[in-house]
Amino acid sequence: MLCRGQRFIIGLIMRSDQAIMAPLAPDAPKDRFDVYRFFNGVSQEGKAGIDAGRTRIPLVKTFLLEHVSASCLQSKKPETLWADLTCETRPIDDSFFSITADWQDPQTKKTARKVVGFLEPFDARFFAFYTCEAVADAQKRVARWAQHPDLDMTWFSSPLLQTLWQKDVLFRGDARFTRLVFKHESIFEMPGDFAEPGPSQTSTDTARGMPSLPDEDGPEPEQRNARVELGDRIGRIRKSLHALQDSYDPMNALAALRIPSLTETGGHDLYQSGRVTNRTASFEDHRNTVRHIYGIYKSVLNYTEQLAWQDDRLLGGAAGDRGLPAGGAPLIVRFAEPLEKATFQRWINMAFQKRNRFKLWGQPIPMGPNKVHVYGADRHLWQPINLEITNEGLTALLPRGTCGNTFHRLVTNIQHYVSPKITTWLGATPFSDVVARWPANSTSAGAGTAHAAHAEGGHAR
């Protein structure tokens, strides 16, 4: 039997066959379970639209955000954090809040204050923001929040997504449907770098996550811009993926991964910036999957900082053989192909501008035609970071107290915008081993995810 919130959502949809402006929140929820029931109604309608071949309301989505580690700085309460972002929080219980912010009516273009979603602190460092706002509007909102020094995205690099594919998705059944999106945009590449046009798939992501065709009459710069989407059964992709990745470098830049549900039809699309989109009929299943992903990311980040901040005497001979600086394990990235001089110079000129994609600040010091040193700062928390950048790769040293999220943001954006195929270490440890450091209770197929999350109060009554 449908609850009041579910009947309200579905009743609105049934009154029109056209896409409509659905509510973003239930009216005066008494507790978090009113919100869960509301999102369950949205999820059911969203899944019905997916099955029918069209969606009339935006899907439920979660943004995982990172604040500060207890080893870095004193954390702030959600009320204080979001007040700095000109938002109001209203506690629904001691760990669940509504978020009120400016919202623009897409029809009248008038701005009003409105509940745009709900916030759940998983701990003092990580927050989940649940919303059913249109994806383009929600992404802009969260991107603005992440410009504040106290907040950052969670960064699911290609190596981490690849590990999720190998350790989790592959074990969910060969007959289950999944989706992998590989994306690389060489925004720093100059036209002169190409002797002839290379393979290109110029496309943009629409709100439904499908590629749109480029305008044949519009401009199309001659630079590497690859987007490859594989939507198929797990078993079929398993047989072909390794050969595809060996034959075409951008196939190593995994940017999104669908995680099939353990209990429902459909799945959950995980993107590199920590957005998780629910493509099942259950918000409970979505939240359980988000908590599973959060547990993995938290474990990986803790291990990253354990390595990056440790005494250099613990790094071992392999690190010393590479001539690494003392004081901790540096991030070492090597490109599959050296960058052309023009590309390298353009990257250095743009990489430290205000609001750059790497969220770094610094003044590059030239050390040669293809080498710079940067004694800079991470704009997240304004903590120091030291870098040596060449046309063949990058070495970054994270002083104790600087958030390990910085390394994962670097790897993510390097593969997306600079070099699609890289080899990476954290000190003497291959980065693939770092991102495989999962919690002890995480099984290969995510089994027990629902039980673990329900045990923490996640079941929607």
The answer to the question of residue 124 being in a domain is: yes
More confidently predicted of 96 and 350: 96
Q: Any idea how long the chain is? A: 461
The answer to the question of residue 339 being in a domain is: yes
The answer to whether 151 touches 67, Cβ cutoff 8 Å, is yes
Instruction: Write the CATH number for 383.
Output: 3.60.90
The answer to the question of residue 30 being in a domain is: yes
Whole-number average pLDDT of the chain? 84
- Give CA–CA dist 379/363, Å, rounded: 14
The answer to whether 103 touches 112, Cβ cutoff 8 Å, is yes
- Give CA–CA dist 264/283, Å, rounded: 11
The answer to whether 425 touches 332, Cβ cutoff 8 Å, is yes
Q: What is the pLDDT of residue 460?
A: 40
What is 258-298 written as a DSSP string?
EEE-SSSSSEEEEETTSEEEE-SS-HHHHHHHHHHHHHHHH
341 phi and psi, to 5 degrees? Answer: -55, -45
Question: Which stretches of 12-87 are assigned E, i.e. beta strand?
Answer: 61-66
The answer to the question of residue 249 being in a domain is: no
- Give CA–CA dist 122/140, Å, rounded: 23
- Burial per residue of 139-177, b for 16 or more beta-carbon CB atoms within 10 angstroms, e otherwise: bebbeebbeebbbbbbbbbbbbbbbbbebbbbebeeebb
The answer to the question of residue 445 being in a domain is: no
Does the pLDDT of residue 215 top 60, yes or no? no
Q: What is the pLDDT of residue 209?
A: 43
- Domain termination site, one of 107, 127, 150: 150
The answer to the question of residue 217 being in a domain is: no
Please give the structure tokens belonging to residue 325: 């600086």
- Give CA–CA dist 202/223, Å, rounded: 10
Please give the structure tokens belonging to residue 305: 């900082």
- The domain of 349 spans 306-434
How many structural domains compose the chain? 2
Q: What is the pLDDT of residue 381?
A: 83
Instruction: Read off the pTM.
Output: 0.86
The answer to whether 389 touches 332, Cβ cutoff 8 Å, is no
Helices marked H in 153-197: 158-167
Q: What is the pLDDT of residue 440?
A: 81
Q: What is the 3-state secondary structure (H, E, C) of 425-448?
A: EECCEEHHHHCCCCCCCCCCCCCC
Does the pLDDT of residue 171 top 50, yes or no? yes
SS3 97: strand
The whole-angstrom distance between residue 206's C-alpha and the CA centroid of its chain comes to 17
Enumerate residues 6+ apart whose C-beta is below 8 A from 66: 125, 126, 127, 151, 152, 153, 154, 301, 380, 403, 405
The answer to the question of residue 278 being in a domain is: no
Q: What is the pLDDT of residues 60-78, one digit of tens each?
A: 999 999 998 766 668 899 9
Which residue has 């600087």 as its token pair? 402
- Domain termination site, one of 150, 184, 218: 150
The answer to the question of residue 138 being in a domain is: yes
| Angle at the Cα of 358 from the Cα atoms of 211 and 367, rounded to 5 degrees | 130
Q: What is the pLDDT of residues 115-130, one digit of tens each?
A: 999 999 999 999 999 9
Q: What is the pLDDT of residues 278-306, one digit of tens each?
A: 999 999 999 999 999 999 999 999 999 99
